[in-house]
Amino acid sequence: MNDSVKLLKSLTAVDGIAGHEMAVKSLMLDYLTPVSDEIIEDNLGGIFGKKSATNGDKTLMVAGHLDEIGFIVTKIDTDGFLKFTPIGGWWNQVMLSQKVTITTDKGKKIRGIIGSKPPHVLSPEERKKTIDIKEMFIDIGVKSKKEAEQFGIEIGNMITPYSEFETLANNKYLTAKAFDNRYGCALAVGVLQNLKNESIAVNLVSGANVQEEVGLRGAKVAANKIKPDLAIAVDVAIAYDTPGMSGQVSDTAIGNGPVIIIMDASNIGHVGFTKHIKEIAKKHNITIQLDTTAGGGTDAGSIHVANEGTPTVSIGVALRYMHSNVSVLHTDDYKNSVALVTEIVKSLNNDIIEQIIW
């Protein structure tokens, strides 16, 4: 297993939904410290490594986000079954019969299964309908509320998807939970690793925000603290290369290179910065894809309106089965996105940034 895959595996294995990102932040600190001149943290939990410019005073912010989608416990019924509510966007049909992990306040990990009535007892009419989340429950294998509480279960406990990190038939295809957006965390580390022994002409602040999945909240705080002149929000993009998706709206596909998001519901990519990125990709023979997304958004939506305005572009990789227990990413896309952002950093200086902003 190469270093890039090991990095992705270790970051996706950690559990951390919005507001509960502490373990992910701790692991990021371990990765960022050896390759950074200093560590920058905000009061909500965002963490960044800074590599200082040897010549120049402008700042580029590269930001993934620490949190993954999940749930929290909202009720323990008398028989010990757990009711829950989503933290982040979920489609009901991908939730049933999936394994989850409940993390207690003391850090104990308890496996659970999302259940509902079996099809055998559903009427023909009920079978045609999707199951509402309020009809679902989590079974942790106890007989009573008291027994569940003895294992440390409480209202507000974090619930995360459970899925093993694996390679598929072609070992460049990886599947795991939380590629959205531990991919961005891995990229933030990878770029600093690439530049550790190089001189750059822009201050690079590279890391990850908190609470993206519940409204791009942490990015507001981090951008106000860092006060960047330019920013790249690093996140995943939708793959349209599966049955029922191909040829609709977009042609982005996994394995075809990093995705530059021209616009989404939260941000219109800065035109000058987008043009510069396309030029850098061409210069270094890095194949890119361009995408527009009518719905959804990334931390670019908060960063670009921070302070007096921050020219921001979102760069990602196409991801299959986003916001589910399993997602699929292509290793070539990850490596090429790290290479692209590395070259973007190396291309910047005071004059170039002023030209981009103008």
Q: Quote the mean pLDDT of the chain.
A: 95
Tokens of 347: 């291309």
- Residues making up the annotated binding site for Zn(2+) are 65, 180, 213, 235, 323
Phi, psi of 103, deg, nearest 5: -105, 120
Residue 296 has a pLDDT of: 83
* Structural domains of the chain, ranges and CATH numbers in brackets: 3-68+177-357 (3.40.630.10), 70-161 (2.40.30.40)
154, 212, 279, 343: the active-site residue: 212
The verdict on whether 212 is a catalytic residue reads yes
Q: Quote the pLDDT of residue 342.
A: 98
Contact 94, 160 (CB under 8 A): no
Alpha carbon distance 71, 89 (integer Å): 10
- What pLDDT is recorded for position 123? 87
Residue 129 has pLDDT above 90, yes or no: no
Rounded to an integer, the average pLDDT of 101-114 is 97
pLDDT at 145: 98
CA distance 41 to 38: 10
Q: Place 210 in a pLDDT band, splitting at 50, 70 and 90.
A: very high
| pLDDT at residue 121 greater than cutoff 90 | no
CB atoms within 10 A of CB 283: 10
Model pLDDT, residue 126:
81
Task: Examine the pLDDT at 248 and tell me if it is beyond 80.
Answer: no
Q: How far apart are CA 266 and CA 139, in angstroms?
A: 37
**Single pTM value for the model:** 0.95
Q: Which residue has the higher pLDDT, 87 or 246?
A: 87
At 317-326, the pLDDT tens digits run: 999 999 999 9
Q: What is the pLDDT of residues 165-202, one digit of tens each?
A: 999 999 999 999 999 999 999 999 999 999 999 999 99
